[in-house]
Amino acid sequence: MDVPRSGTDDLASPGGAARLTTARRVRLRTVALPVEHGAWGFLLEPALLGLLVAWSSAGVALVIAGLAAILLQTPLSQALSDVRRRRVYPRTGLAWRFVALYGIILVVAVAVAIALAGTPTILVPALIAAPLALGQLWFDAHGRAREFAPEVLGALAIGSLAACIAVAAGWGIVAALGLWALLAARSVPTIAYVRARLRLERGHAVDPRCVWAMHLLALALVAVAVAFTDLAWLVLVPYVALAGRAALGVSRQRVSVPAKVIGFRELGFGIALVAFLALVL
């Protein structure tokens, strides 16, 4: 992190004040907002699916709580990392202030959701997901946020938001957990695919069999759920489509595209999957 020199010489130099202001703004953003843009997609999908299939005012409050939880992760992991190193950096105090801000928003939003729903059972899926969130936080605090495991843990944890929203609307716990499972069948293989695709775009060798296997396993699990529950067979359609895009995306026939394009495509796939599931559930 580049921090400009403080002093009157820097401020008096041409553009000095502007550089100082810009540096402060960048530093604020890196503490206050998630570094990984994919985090927004993994929040959007459970929030959107939950509200589409199980709308309630308590669900809206839970979405706000989920947003606060996503925002809380970055400053909290940075602050805990500094504590672990027993160091105080220019960002440390700022990180703790954002932890307090986002923490207050999270607590208030959860309290409002419980009051609107009339029962604390809406938090059961979140309690189940808590070990996953703590696991991701551990990786983050140890500077390992970009590994496969913490990315999966984080996606699975935030996916519980859809289940919480469903319970708030009166769904049973088992049915709500099933909604969470449908999102997990999308997020876990998608993370494997995106990581492999980005490596390919950088010129690294990738074994596509892992990506294929994860998509086929997700598809098989959804098929089992369809076979033994009241889910419509149409639920399988988006998972077949995702498996197809993964097979093509890691093949020699793929068309090379920038990382941003891959990210926006996955955001589109996620929204399309959520919209389709909302129609057939």
Q: Residue 210: inside a domain, yes or no?
A: yes
- Separation of alpha carbons 153 and 73, rounded Å: 13
- Separation of alpha carbons 266 and 42, rounded Å: 10
DSSP string, 53-116: HS--HHHHHHHHHHHHHHHHHHHHHHHHHHHHHT---HHHHHHHHHHHHHHHHHHHHHHHHHHH
- Domain edge (last residue) among 155, 171, 187: 171
30 and 79 together in one domain:
yes
Contacting residues for 90 by C-beta, under 8 A, at least 6 apart: 1, 3, 27
Q: Residue 221: inside a domain, yes or no?
A: yes
Contact 231, 185 (CB under 8 A): no
Q: Residue 76: inside a domain, yes or no?
A: yes
The pLDDT > 90 percentage for the chain reads 79
30 and 167 together in one domain:
yes
Contact 262, 200 (CB under 8 A): no
Report pLDDT for 198: 96
Mean pLDDT, all residues of the chain: 90
Torsion of CA 108, 112, 113, 116, to 10 degrees: 180
- Separation of alpha carbons 184 and 166, rounded Å: 16
Residues 71-77: what's their mean pLDDT?
93
- Domain edge (last residue) among 125, 146, 171: 171
Residue 166 in tokens: 């469903």
When mean pLDDT is compared across 4-8, 36-40, 124-128, the lowest value belongs to 4-8
- Separation of alpha carbons 158 and 219, rounded Å: 21
Q: pLDDT: is 143 or 100 the higher one?
A: 100
pTM: 0.88
DSSP code at position 279: H
The pLDDT > 70 percentage for the chain reads 90
Q: Residue 91: inside a domain, yes or no?
A: yes
93 and 149 together in one domain:
yes
Residues 178-185: what's their mean pLDDT?
97
Q: Terminus-to-terminus CA distance in the chain, angstroms?
A: 47
Res. 30 pLDDT band, cuts 50 70 90 = confident
Report pLDDT for 29: 80
| Residue labelled with tokens 């580049």 | 2
Q: Residue 11: inside a domain, yes or no?
A: no
Name residue 170's amino acid: G
What's the structural domain count of the chain?
Answer: 2
| Maximal CA-CA distance, the chain | 73
Q: What is the pLDDT of residues 129-143, one digit of tens each?
A: 999 999 999 998 888
Report pLDDT for 195: 96
List Cα–Cα distances, 90 to 31, 81, 82, 96, 145, in angstroms.
11, 13, 11, 11, 21
| Type and span of the H or E element at 261 | helix 259-280
150 and 22 together in one domain:
yes
Residue-number span of the structural domain to which 108 is assigned? 17-171
- Domain edge (last residue) among 152, 171, 190: 171
Angular region, 256: left φ>0, alpha ψ -120 to 50, beta rest: beta
Q: Residue 6: inside a domain, yes or no?
A: no
179 and 243 together in one domain:
yes
